[in-house]
Amino acid sequence: MPITPATATHSSSDGTADAILLELVDENGVTIGTEEKLAAHQPPGLLHRAFSVFLFDERGRLLLQRRALDKYHSPGVWSNTCCGHPYPGEAPFAAAARRTFEELGVSPSLLAEAGTVRYNHPDPASGLVEQEYNHLFVGLVQSPPRPNAGEVGDTAFVTPAELAERHASDTFSSWFMTVLDAARPAVRELTGPSAGW
């Protein structure tokens, strides 16, 4: 499957490039239209469909990624395992599995829905706005990540204590704690009480 970075375009059958479109939604997550990706993130931001993935290893550690330095939005910051946007008409579950493989070179051995969360997070560094209706997924990963350098600068598996230490000293995406907190019930169910999430 082709890699689809944030600012990529797709070639249509007539050889012209099509911009990446996001699915615009209302406050209930109902599709109301589409918009070009960068335009949807310009202030004040247009509410659009997104997804966030949290993968854990057999020890209950969360796989984090540091976003590549050349990303146009939130470059070089730590974030959850994978996040992105479904193409218009693409199921969020399918998009989550697709982008996890494209960015990290792994396919989850288990991937389950973990609810949705709606948020509005400006990114001070870029001036862009994350106005998202986000579908959450939790799962397990059993093979080592093979990150795509154009998307991912680094990866790390962390325990809750290690995450707290890293979060206090490193820069994380503006949406990270919002999506993690929303996914926590499903994370606890997946990893069990001994993991400490």
Q: Pick the catalytic residue: 82, 83, 130, 151?
A: 83
Place of tokens 């080592």: 144
Contact call for residues 22 and 40 (beta carbons, < 8 A)? yes
Annotated catalytic residue 82 = no
Contact call for residues 37 and 46 (beta carbons, < 8 A)? no
Q: Pick the catalytic residue: 23, 102, 103, 132?
A: 132
Alpha carbon separation from 92 to 29, 72, 112, 115, 137 (Å, rounded): 12, 22, 11, 11, 9
Comparing C-alpha atoms, which of 54, 51, 52, 50 is closest to residue 190? Answer: 54
Strand partners for 83: 52
Phi-psi bin for 157: left (phi > 0), alpha (psi -120 to 50), beta?
A: beta
Annotated catalytic residue 36 = no
* Catalytic positions, written as ranges: 83, 132
